[in-house]
Structure 1
Amino acid sequence: MSGASRDYWDTRHRDHDDLASGGHIGLDRAGNEIFYALRLGALLPLIGDLADESAPLFVLDAGCGKGHFARALARCGHRVDAFDASEEAVAHARARGGGPRWSVAALDEWRSAWPYDVVLCVDVLFHVLDDAEWAAGLRNLASLVRITGRLILTDEDTATRRPRGDYIVHRPTADYRALLEPLGLRHTHFRPYGFRENEVGFHVFTRTR
């Protein structure tokens, strides 16, 4: 991640509350409470209900921000690693605690000695404007998914590239498939958020080999 991008996210996480900094910056607190609740409600069925104290699902939250989803998944019994490129966000997450193991890293920097049942990347990749950086981050996340595991990422389900403002570019679903399918991950589902005018949703890729 470029220095300018890190500075942007450090400033955003420093200047906005725990929901707006990683949620919808144009919404008030109540609106973001609804936005987070709807996304979590859509996400949980995609992860599944296989959590067990003796054999919890091992989940990675890549680009976790201040840790809202990571803490929620830990409360659901999952074992969670979570990282973000913003030191401000991770410092906030560590202060809150909540179960996950917090780290500072960019999408292409995270390494793990073991694969994950689920690798999650919520509302991060469409903020990565540089295509080479986007591809490097996505390849690294793919490498962390175990056989039959899932990579769950968010973007629009679009056929065209859609830049929006200074910090968003929505990429075609075909671009994700073209990069991930040769790596053994098959696109198995898209579930839209269903929140107001937002066209983003969860893309699920399942490792088949």
Structure 2
Amino acid sequence: MADHTASRTPAPLVVEPDDEGGREMLHALRLAALLRIIGDRPAAGEPLFLLDAGCGDGRLARALARCGHRVDAFDSDPEAVDRCRAEGGGPRYAVADLAEWHSPWLYDAVLCLDVLPRVPGGAAWETALTRLASLVRLTGTLVVTDEDVPAPVPRDDDAPRRPTATYRAVLEPLGMRYDGFAPYGFQGDRAGFHVFARIR
């Protein structure tokens, strides 16, 4: 039997279930995986300081705040940020683009989920990734989502899934060590977390 998979259009970056129960399961699995990656609070009463870059509806930011962490979150969509603020739940929200977010402090972990793969290639993507890395403190963690692929994979929206080596080529010269890829493992979804740690 012929293999036609190479000619098929790849599935969306994240297989978003079309029912509320499925969405809750996906978000719960991703939250559990992220908590394993970023670790626990250093001590009781000492939360991690986290950034959710491109927070969308704020679901992740609120969940991390419920876990006792201090969370900053931003999105480029002012209406999305207004809805997040209306929900409350602990995070501090702001309107900003990935490449323009500035902070007077560094974060224990910077999380950018489902956003970078949709940024067009070239300078805009590299600038956004470089900005995110600049916000991670020494020994801190940067987590970005994509697939673990050896070569670019085209998508319907013309923003290819980028090879792992492309992330490494940008981040490793900036003092970020690649700690590996953690797939979601949800309903055949190939996306997951690329994890980097600041070592200098």
Q: Specify if TM > 0.5.
A: yes
The residue number in structure 1 matching 2:40 is 49
For residue 185 of structure 1, what is the amino acid of its counterpart? M
Q: Percent identity?
A: 58
Q: Which runs of 4+ in 1 moved over 6 A?
A: none
Matches for 1:10-29 after TM superposition, within 5 Å: 24=15, 27-29=18-20
Report the TM-score when normalising by structure 1. 0.85
1:122-178 CA-to-partner distances (Å, cap 9, x unmatched) read 111111123221111000000000000000111100001112111642100000000
In 2, Cα distance between equivalents of 1:156 and 1:131: 18
For residue 133 of structure 2, what is the amino acid of its counterpart? A
For residue 126 of structure 1, what is the amino acid of its counterpart? P
Tell which has more relative contact order, 1 or 2 (C-alpha 8 A, sep 6+). Answer: 2
The residue number in structure 1 matching 2:83 is 92
In 2, Cα distance between equivalents of 1:161 and 1:28: 31
1:14-53 CA-to-partner distances (Å, cap 9, x unmatched) read xxxxxxxxx7556222221221111111111111112546
In 2, Cα distance between equivalents of 1:124 and 1:53: 32
Deviates more, 1:52-61 or 1:129-138: 52-61
Aligned with 2:184 (options 189, 193, 198): 193
Residue segments in structure 2 that go unaligned for 5+ positions in a row: 1-13
In 2, Cα distance between equivalents of 1:184 and 1:75: 31
Change (3 A) 1:124 1:96: same
Are the aligned partners of 2:182 and 2:193 in contact in 1 as well (CA < 8 Å)?
Answer: yes
In 2, Cα distance between equivalents of 1:166 and 1:207: 32
CA RMSD, Structure 1 to Structure 2 (Å): 1.5
The residue number in structure 2 matching 1:77 is 68
Are the aligned partners of 1:155 and 1:201 in contact in 2 as well (CA < 8 Å)?
Answer: yes
Residue segments in structure 1 that go unaligned for 5+ positions in a row: 1-22
* Alignment length (residue pairs): 187
